[in-house]
């Protein structure tokens, strides 16, 4: 007899189910079992199965499912036994079965969840199939199948260099101490230099190089070979190429710190620069910490990011924090529905959900961008516009409907337009695609423990930096020359970013395309209409707040003109 549930029951169980069906249903006398089953719906028969087995009956269970939990189970086993564990909570597993008398479900769950209590319910076989198929179709192979795969552990990356342990080998201990101290002191770079009779290293902290530490000249080649070995490069490579780039990871008390290595030959030996990419403990966010720009600047930056296509360009010298700001912008744009691709040399800050690609050399740039354009991107980050080819590709990507973020080297935001023109870009293309031109600097902050009060700026500085005469009597703060223990004798403690932005509206873009306005006039018009602060304005604001001094500002800004 077919009970129309998609499950074969033995005769004894069938009689038990039909007995429950008769007792719960008003039936005519003399109606046969076959006729009773034909007249009964699946839901009614399911209820009889539940009463016969003593289990709750649920015609629908899909709303109870935790797809991720089901994904850990083998769909082939579930399908053969017509059962499915629906969810797990508080040491209990909710298990749906089509045949309560089939103990394959109990055996499977006893081995998979030995410490959990089973809460069984009975449902239709079609419901169980639907849950299994839904889980399999949405997640591909089950996690059980994936975890069962055996693969050989392999990695192209070098193992982490633990800089906090003690090494018996003297060169290893020297390099470990060098890197460990740099991380401890929050240095951004380590420089190793060779001169005629000197072999030295020093750290760059808060934008300035610190005191040099002498090393014996006899260690020069040993240190060089050790660093090359860290990146699995043969020492012979140092004589084959004028410049060597590489990367390794330093482990500092369990924290992974990326180290970007750059080496080039010099007249007396070599010069190594190691950039410390200590991003693991800090995730830069727009409007927070060192990226706490003023509200209007942040608002215009948000407006530019909200435009579906076009270019946002960040300018500034090396070490001005451009990449950090662009990565913070990527975090704001990073949504599951968007495909974000980056092309960098090298990748400095990995963001979950973003596809990062690194360039091995400049010859890869054009084919990589061409491949990007065929990879269905929504947002593209190009590390830098360096030449005509990269400028053309950035503009082409923006014209074809992509959002492009990139950097360029110019002193002022308005000069970004001039730089694109110098690279051969037509003005109408620049006007059509450029949505925001930005310039950024990192300004050293005064040490709050030892900064010194000063009554007014000198008359010479007022004139030299074209300051308002009121600065001659305003209270300002300056750094102490010899610093204090808190700032390790520097007088400064940390840096903060200042940003100027020129939003390119359709109206401004039309004037630019027609040649009715120069880039400098564009800057003046935007400043006049929007009141957005320039780099100079932001710097003077920090000075007025007692957070920096003129000496720090003039190192990163041309203060001799009034914007």
Chain segment 379-432, per-residue pLDDT in tens: 999 888 888 888 888 898 899 888 999 999 888 899 999 999 999 999 899 999
% of the chain exceeding 70 in pLDDT: 91
Residue 155 domain-assigned (yes or no): no
Long-range pairs for 111-115 at CB < 8 Å and ≥24 separation?
112/73, 112/85, 113/85, 113/88, 115/91
Q: Which of 234-238, 251-255, 262-266, 546-550 has the lowest mean pLDDT?
A: 234-238
Q: pTM for the whole thing?
A: 0.65
Check whether residue 343 and residue 399 sit in a common domain: yes
CA angle 199, 203, 207 (to 5 degrees): 135
Check whether residue 526 and residue 400 sit in a common domain: yes
pLDDT of residue 87 exceeding 50, the answer is yes
Kindly give, in sequence order, each residue whose CB lies less than 8 Å from that of residue 334, ignoring residues fewer than 6 positions away: 340, 351, 353, 354
> Could you tell me which of 447, 452, 417, 422 has the C-alpha nearest to residue 432?
417
The sign of the CA dihedral 331, 333, 338, 341 is negative
pLDDT class of 26 with cuts at 50, 70, 90: low
Q: What is the pLDDT of residues 149-191, one digit of tens each?
A: 666 554 555 578 899 888 989 999 999 999 999 988 888 899 9
Share the mean pLDDT of the chain.
85
Q: CATH number, domain at 210?
A: 3.30.450.90
Tell me the C-alpha distance between 188 and 59, whole Å. Answer: 63
What is residue 553's predicted lDDT score, i.e. its pLDDT? 93
> Could you tell me which of 416, 417, 435, 414 has the C-alpha nearest to residue 426?
417
Tell me the C-alpha distance between 194 and 500, whole Å. Answer: 39
Tell me the C-alpha distance between 523 and 436, whole Å. Answer: 12
pLDDT class of 281 with cuts at 50, 70, 90: very low
Residue 410 domain-assigned (yes or no): yes
Residue 3 domain-assigned (yes or no): no
Q: Are 55 and 121 in contact (CB under 8 A)?
A: yes
**113 lies in which domain range?**
11-148
Q: CATH number, domain at 134?
A: 3.30.300.160
Check whether residue 520 and residue 374 sit in a common domain: yes
Check whether residue 516 and residue 407 sit in a common domain: yes
What is residue 147's predicted lDDT score, i.e. its pLDDT? 65
Check whether residue 324 and residue 459 sit in a common domain: yes
Rounded average pLDDT over 186-209: 90
Q: CATH number, domain at 435?
A: 3.40.50.300
Residue 284 domain-assigned (yes or no): no
Check whether residue 16 and residue 109 sit in a common domain: yes
Out of 127, 148, 169, pick the residue that ends a domain.
Answer: 148
Task: Locate 196 and state its tokens.
Answer: 């005629």
Check whether residue 361 and residue 307 sit in a common domain: yes
Rounded average pLDDT over 96-118: 89
Tell me the C-alpha distance between 349 and 327, whole Å. Answer: 7
What is residue 145's predicted lDDT score, i.e. its pLDDT? 56
CA angle 27, 32, 35 (to 5 degrees): 80
Check whether residue 131 and residue 23 sit in a common domain: yes
Check whether residue 75 and residue 124 sit in a common domain: yes
Q: What is the pLDDT of residues 523-546, one digit of tens each?
A: 999 888 888 999 999 999 999 999
> Could you tell me which of 176, 154, 180 has the C-alpha nearest to residue 167?
176
Residue 561 domain-assigned (yes or no): no
pLDDT of residue 273 exceeding 90, the answer is yes
The sign of the CA dihedral 80, 83, 85, 86 is positive
Domain count, the chain: 3
Out of 148, 174, 197, pick the residue that ends a domain.
Answer: 148
The sign of the CA dihedral 305, 309, 313, 319 is positive
Q: What is the pLDDT of residues 57-80, one digit of tens each?
A: 999 888 888 888 887 888 878 888
Residue 438 domain-assigned (yes or no): yes
Pairing of strands 310-315, 403-408: parallel
Pairing of strands 452-455, 255-266: unpaired
Check whether residue 472 and residue 424 sit in a common domain: yes
Rounded average pLDDT over 483-511: 90
Check whether residue 320 and residue 454 sit in a common domain: yes
Residue 2 domain-assigned (yes or no): no
Out of 221, 247, 277, pick the residue that ends a domain.
Answer: 277
Check whether residue 492 and residue 378 sit in a common domain: yes
What is residue 29's predicted lDDT score, i.e. its pLDDT? 66
Residue 1 domain-assigned (yes or no): no
């Amino acid at each position: 007899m077919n009970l129309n549930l998609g499950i074969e029951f033995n005769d004894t169980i069938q009689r038990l189910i039909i007995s429950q069906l008769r007792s719960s249903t008003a039936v005519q006398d003399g109606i046969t079992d076959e006729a009773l089953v034909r007249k009964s719906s699946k839901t009614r028969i399911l209820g009889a199965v539940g009463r016969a087995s003593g289990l709750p009956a649920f015609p629908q269970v899909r709303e109870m499912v935790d797809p991720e939990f089901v994904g850990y189970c083998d769909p082939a086993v579930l399908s053969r036994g017509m059962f499915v564990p629906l969810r797990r909570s508080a040491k209990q597993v909710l298990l749906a079965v089509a045949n309560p008398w089939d103990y394959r479900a109990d055996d499977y769950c006893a081995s998979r969840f030995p410490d959990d209590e089973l809460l069984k319910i009975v449902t239709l076989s079609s419901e169980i199939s639907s849950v299994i198929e839904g889980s399999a179709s949405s997640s591909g192979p089950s996690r059980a199948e994936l975890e069962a795969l055996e693969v050989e552990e392999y990695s192209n990356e070098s193992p982490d260099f633990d800089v906090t342990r003690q090494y018996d080998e003297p060169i290893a201990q020297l390099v470990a101490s060098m890197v460990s101290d740099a991380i401890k002191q929050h240095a951004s770079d380590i420089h190793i230099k060779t001169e005629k009779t000197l072999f030295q290293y020093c750290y760059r902290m808060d934008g300035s190089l610190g005191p040099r530490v002498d090393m014996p000249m006899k260690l020069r080649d040993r240190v060089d070979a050790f660093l090359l070995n860290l990146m699995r490069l043969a020492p012979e490579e140092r004589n084959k190429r004028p410049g060597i780039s590489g990367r390794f990871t330093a482990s500092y008390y369990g924290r992974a710190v990326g180290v970007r290595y750059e080496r080039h030959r010099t007249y007396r030996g070599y010069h190594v620069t190691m950039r410390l990419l200590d991003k693991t403990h800090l995730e830069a966010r727009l409007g927070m910490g060192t990226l706490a720009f003023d509200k209007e600047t942040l608002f215009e930056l948000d407006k530019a990011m909200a435009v579906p296509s076009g270019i946002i360009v960040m300018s500034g010298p090396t070490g001005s924090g451009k990449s950090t700001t662009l990565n913070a912008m990527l975090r704001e744009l990073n949504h599951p529905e968007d495909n974000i691709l980056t092309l960098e040399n090298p990748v400095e800050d990995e963001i979950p959900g973003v596809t990062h690609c690194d360039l091995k050399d400049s010859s890869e740039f054009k084919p990589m961008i061409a491949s990007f354009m065929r990879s269905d991107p929504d947002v593209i980050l190009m590390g830098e516009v360096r030449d005509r080819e990269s400028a053309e590709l950035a503009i082409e990507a923006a014209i074809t409907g992509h959002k492009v973020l990139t950097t360029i080297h110019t002193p002022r935001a308005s000069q970004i337009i001039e730089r694109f023109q110098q690279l051969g870009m037509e003005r109408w293309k620049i006007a059509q695609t450029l949505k925001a031109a930005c310039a950024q600097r990192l300004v050293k902050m005064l040490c709050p423990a030892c900064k010194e009060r000063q009554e007014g700026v000198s008359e010479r500085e007022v004139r030299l930096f074209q300051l308002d005469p009121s600065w001659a009597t305003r209270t300002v703060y300056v750094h102490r020359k010899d610093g204090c223990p808190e700032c390790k004798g520097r007088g400064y403690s940390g840096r903060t970013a200042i940003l100027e932005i020129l939003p390119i509206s359709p109206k401004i873009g039309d004037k630019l395309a027609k040649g009715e306005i120069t880039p400098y006039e564009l800057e003046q018009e935007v400043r006049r209409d929007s009141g957005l602060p320039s780099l100079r304005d932001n710097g003077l604001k920090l000075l007025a707040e007692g957070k920096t001094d003129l000496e720090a500002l003039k190192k990163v800004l041309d203060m001799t003109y009034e914007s």
